[in-house]
Amino acid sequence: MKCDAPKTIRHSYDPEDVTFLLTPVEITPTDVKEKEYLLQSGRVHYSEMISEERRPDARYMQIYENSLDRHLSRIALDIVRIGLKIKSEIDQGALAPRLSLCSLVRAGVPYGVLLRRVLVKLNVNVVHYGVSIIRDRGLDPVAMDYVRKDRPEADILFVDGWTGKGAISGELKKAWREISGQDPRLVVLADPSGHAWLSGSHEDWLIPSGILGANISGLISRSILKSGLLQPGEFHGAMTVDHLADMDRSQDFIDRVTGMFDTVLETALPAEQSIEGAQHLRERAASCVDMIANRYAVENLNRIKPGIAEATRAVLRRRPRIVFLRDAKDPDLEALVHLCRQDGIEMEVSAQVTGPYRAITLIEKVS
């Protein structure tokens, strides 16, 4: 039975592109230095606080625009290839003819929007939701209950932008098994660590949206789960990030990629899956993370942020100790290098350390 439309957060996407299963909340921002201490001391979980999102400078936004120009066709091709593979799975009976896409808020949302648009072009019956997943807390059970009741006959695909070292994919697997008794089908654009069910590639490359935050994700914050802030039966919370509205690129990003779909569909082939290859990627990724952990005596692996997007976001939001680069002259690392130079963060160039990734950030230990 279809559910009533939920009360949800204000965002900047076209309404038909996504239904966010998020409760609008307001909390006082926490200073980055204080947040880092509270996180590492274990006194407060990261989902209980949020810092004011850093405003990108003009140079940084130009780097984003340049990267989008450079990678626009690749994004379109990878999304189309993923869509074609999903359509093939439906035609072969491996997936139900009706699909519910659940994008993991918030990095997965732009790609869920794009994938929904491709699947509609391929005549797939599909609805797209934005749902919260929080490390150590799992999927929002209220949101997933809504999705399953809203479209009980539909198969569910989870969508994210990329995989890092596999923490969120592991959280997803645990949570979805508890809810449904099944393994989740995770779809991502880039899967360098081999944890996704389906991906556009296994390369760590600069997904342009990965170096921005709210202003590429519908002007919403990451999800918030704080005791006393939400009532029983409410979705996880989030905030609308209005101070970045004048530089919002969310809909522009979607429309520019969508504009290439028809051309790409003429020649694109479905994405491929490789269970054997994925195992090799997982081993390489784990070995790389372990090497850094041993070198710096890191006990909490959450301090290691591998992959261009995660490494960049860590510099924007956290207190980095050092950033490892495969190649400092790599144009895909320009935004990350810009931030490191701006903030005086140490950089080390080492292809051996970075392994399958092109960049890794190690968070400073502060407790």
pLDDT tens profile 94-138: 999 999 999 999 999 999 999 999 999 999 999 999 999 999 999
What is the pLDDT, as a whole number, of residue 6? 74
In the block, tokens 């593979």 appear at 85
pLDDT grade for 366, boundaries at 50, 70 and 90: confident
What is each CA distance from 246 to 111, 190, 216, 219, 249, in whole angstroms?
22, 29, 12, 10, 9
What is the pLDDT, as a whole number, of residue 367? 62
Tell me, what DSSP letter sits at residue 5? P
Give the residue among 102, 154, 161, 109 at the shortest CA–CA distance from 129: 102
pLDDT grade for 158, boundaries at 50, 70 and 90: very high
Coil, helix or strand at residue 69? helix
Query: Would the pLDDT of 1 be above 70?
Result: no
Phi, psi dihedrals of residue 270, rounded to the nearest 5° = -60, 150
What is the pLDDT, as a whole number, of residue 32? 86
The length of the chain, given as a count of residues: 367
Coil, helix or strand at residue 141? helix
What is each CA distance from 220 to 23, 250, 316, in whole angstroms?
11, 10, 16
Give the whole-number percent of the chain exceeding pLDDT 70. Answer: 98
What is the pLDDT, as a whole number, of residue 263? 97
Coil, helix or strand at residue 322? strand
Query: Would the pLDDT of 5 be above 80?
Result: no
Tell me, what DSSP letter sits at residue 151? S
pLDDT grade for 315, boundaries at 50, 70 and 90: very high
- First and final CA of the chain: distance in angstroms? 50
User: Could you tell me the domains of the chain?
Assistant: 15-265 (3.40.50.2020), 275-363 (3.30.1330.30)
Tell me, what DSSP letter sits at residue 39? H
| Diameter over CA atoms, the chain | 55
In the block, tokens 């939400």 appear at 230
Please give the average per-residue pLDDT across 288-302, as a whole number: 94
Tell me, what DSSP letter sits at residue 299? S
What is the pLDDT, as a whole number, of residue 226? 92
- Which position has the higher pLDDT, 154 or 319? 154
Query: Would the pLDDT of 275 be above 90?
Result: no
Query: Exposed (0-12), middle (13-18) or buried (19+): which is 83, by Cβ within 10 Å?
Result: buried
> 168: part of which helix (H) or strand (E)?
helix 167-180
> 19: part of which helix (H) or strand (E)?
strand 19-20
